[in-house]
Amino acid sequence: MGRLVAVSVLGIALALLGERLLALRNRLKASREIESVDLPNCHLIKGIEAGSEDIDILPNGLAFFSVGLKCPGLHSFAPDKPGGILMMDLKEERPRALELRISRGFDLASFNPHGISTFIDDDDTIYLFVVNHPEFKNTVEIFKFEEEENSLLHLKTIRHELLPSVNDVIAVGPAHFYATNDHYFSDPFLKYLETYLNLHWANVIYYSPNEVKVVADGFDSANGINISPDKKYIYVADILAHEIHVLDKHSNMNLTQLKVLQLDTLVDNLSVDPSSGDIWAGCHPNGQKVYVYDPNNPPSSEVLRIQNILSEKPTVTTVYANNGSVLQGSSVASVYDGKLLIGTLYHRALYCEL
């Protein structure tokens, strides 16, 4: 009888594990392949060889790139090189990506930048917020951009127990921001277990010098975050649920869910066109290829444009798609004045004239 119970328990456990594995493959879109959608006027950006995970563009056309992200279990083409912040002036006829100098005293050797966001204060001071993973820990760094010197002055490092696994950030003040946690745990094994069991414990945090709080939760894996041009709505990408959440932003900075847009791809970072309000999303058509890297079958890339997201039927257009022959693992797409920048987790970056 005891053996029968043991065999029954083992059978149930194996069945549960098999069901979870199948569910994870579905969440990763592990069987999905895409057809190419080409843009005619594109070229790879010189100087970006090991990822440009996030891109943010100022109103004057200066684009910031976070480069060189390294995460446990994620491929890297430059595993021993620290990350950095690059800048490109999109108003130039032939813009080049240049690395910004960072002020002394900041630990450049362990710099591991992830999501980024800019904020322009009333006195025109430009702040750059950077999610950083020094030694795979979690911080948000605040820099002041000094345009004349093409440099960043480090102002503050933020650590908090409510920021255990920060992915992206959207600045809403000189020391105020919303941030996504893509996992509830910070330990790599517990992160994997959380993902495998599909616990939906990821969340969004609001941070200010006076208050830190959870303002939205229940996400599978909260990833990219951005804000509407009128500052009324926060957009959050839930990458493993293939969703973009539209959240009402209230005067006390709390968020309430307004709607969810379901897509057929793993949505990473979100950019917002300030003139039209359109959302541009860097996406992973097949997440398994991202995490199980095979140079002979590399991860593909996909860029979506979402128009009128607040309407009953938003328009979703595939602007660019590639099987990995040109661009592997697109994570962000950002537009400025007819120009499109596409960044990746650990590969190259693309500059296109639309």
DSSP output for 173-242: ETTEEEEEES-S--SHHHHHHHHHHT---EEEEEE-SS-EEEEEEEESSEEEEEE-TTSSEEEEEEGGGT
Distance CA 291, CA 287 (A): 7
The number of angstroms, rounded, from the C-alpha of 176 to the middle of its chain's C-alpha atoms is 19
- In three-state secondary structure terms, 206 is strand
Structure tokens at 256: 């309430």
Residue 210 among known ligand-binding residues: no
* Cβ 178 vs Cβ 169: under 8 Å: yes
Is 194 labelled as part of a ligand binding site? no
Residue-range domains of the chain with CATH: 32-353 (2.120.10.30)
Residues 6+ apart with CB under 8 A from 339: 90, 351, 352, 353, 354
Bin 93: left if φ > 0, else alpha if -120 < ψ < 50, else beta. Answer: alpha
Return the pLDDT at 11: 44
Query: CA 49: distance to chain centroid?
Result: 18
In sequence order, what E strands does 21-112 have? 42-44, 52-57, 62-67, 84-89, 98-99, 101-102
Instruction: Kindly give the interhelix angle for 2-27 and 188-197, rounded to the nearest 10 degrees.
Output: 90
Q: Answer yes or no: is 53 a known binding residue.
A: yes
Judge whether 116 is annotated as a binding position.
yes
Residue 48 is predicted with a pLDDT of: 97
First-last CA distance in the chain: 70
Is 198 marked within a binding site?
A: no
> Of the listed 43, 75, 114, 250, which one is catalytic?
114
- Is 60 flagged in the annotation as binding? no
Phi/psi for 204 (5° steps) reads -120, 135
Q: How many angstroms separate the CA atoms of 267 and 197, rounded?
A: 20
Rounded CA-CA distance 340/344 in Å is: 13
pLDDT recorded at residue 21: 86
**54 marked as binding residue:** yes
Consecutive 10-residue averages of pLDDT for the chain (354 residues): 49 59 93 94 96 98 98 93 97 95 95 98 97 97 96 98 98 98 96 95 98 98 98 98 98 98 98 97 98 96 98 97 98 97 98 96
Per-residue model confidence (pLDDT) at position 3: 56
Residue 16: per-residue pLDDT? 60
347 annotated active-site: no
Per-residue model confidence (pLDDT) at position 19 = 77
Which helix or strand (DSSP H or E) is residue 194 part of? helix 188-197
**CA-to-CA distance for 120 and 224, rounded, in angstroms?**
20
Q: Is 167 annotated as a binding residue?
A: yes
